[in-house]
Amino acid sequence: MESISVVIVEDQDFFADEYSARVKSDSKLSLINAYKNANSVLAVANAINPNIAIIDIGLPDMPGYELIKQLRLFWPNCQFLVCSIHAEDDLVFNAICNGATGYLLKTATEEEFLQAIQDLHNGGSPMSFQIARKVMEFVQTKSLATQEVDKLTQRELQIVELLSKGLRYKEIAADLSLSHETVRKHINNIYRKLEVQSRTEAINKLYPR
């Protein structure tokens, strides 16, 4: 069994040394190198191809999420583990949106840290529990507004689905083999039930962002 190759990008000496020591202590891992800033790793990015990259979000020369975005182009199969002292929503979601698949707070123990690398390599997404809750709440807010959906009939839901895709009335009519006027009537009823005056308001009410 081949060992898992790791790079570290961390500007603070204390953490860089700590992470390096942890990786070296684990026989299943091999440390390629530890870099102090974004540019020094970008300079050699096309010469290496790690399995795991551990990225500090607070680098001096570039936001961590920006670094991930760029490194992903060089290392499409690499898993990115963000390590941060911060749990602010912006940082967390920017990192995730740019391809981070794990997010640990720096309070993580050595055991959690090494387990996270294993999890990442096994297709998991390790997160500190505070981060996990934020992510969970994000998922919950992005789901359907059930109580509004219940007000609509089957046919109306079918039409709303097409409305939300941006189809025009005549396209919806063609899709469902209905007359243009019938579609309009249905949409009128939908808006009345949802207490809205436009397509966008209806969509926002049914599919909260």
Contact 49, 15 (CB under 8 A): no
Judged by beta carbon distances under 5 to 8 A according to partner kind, the member of DNA, a second copy, none in contact with residue 76 is: none
d(CA 132, CA 64): 19
Which of 63, 191, 204, 207 is in the footprint of DNA by CB under 7 A?
A: 191
Burial class from Cβ neighbours inside 10 Å (0-12, 13-18, 19+) for residue 171 reads middle
Which SS3 state, helix, strand or coil, does residue 56 take? strand
Size of the site for DNA (CB under 7 A): 23
Residues binding a second copy: number (CB under 8 A): 42
The side-by-side arrangement of strands in the sheet containing 4-9 is: 29-35, 4-9, 52-56, 79-84, 100-105
What are residue 79's phi and psi, to 5 degrees? -100, 135
| CB closer to DNA out of 35 and 169 | 169
Query: What is the CA 56 to chain-centroid distance, rounded?
Result: 17
Per-residue binding string, a second copy, 87-106, x by CB under 8 A, is: ------x--xxxx-x-----
176 binds DNA (CB under 7 A): yes
Give residue 5's identity as a one-letter amino acid code: S
- Tell me: does residue 191 bind a second copy (CB under 8 A): no
Say how far apart CA 178 and CA 203 lie, in whole Å. Answer: 22
147 interacts with DNA by CB under 7 A: no
Considering only residues 14, 77, 109, 123, which one is a binding residue for a second copy as defined by CB under 8 A? 123
Buried b (16+ CB within 10 A) or exposed e, 118-130: ebbeeeebbbbee
- Asked if 127 touches a second copy (CB under 8 A), the answer is yes
Q: Is 146 in the site for a second copy (CB under 8 A)?
A: yes
* 192 lies in the binding site for a second copy (CB under 8 A): no
Say which entry of a second copy, DNA, none residue 122 contacts (CB below 5 to 8 A, set by partner kind).
a second copy
Footprint of DNA (CB under 7 A):
153-156, 168-170, 176, 178-182, 184-188, 191, 197-200
Footprint of a second copy (CB under 8 A):
69, 93, 96-99, 101, 119, 122-130, 132-133, 135-136, 138-140, 142-144, 146, 163-166, 168, 196, 198-201, 203-204, 207, 209
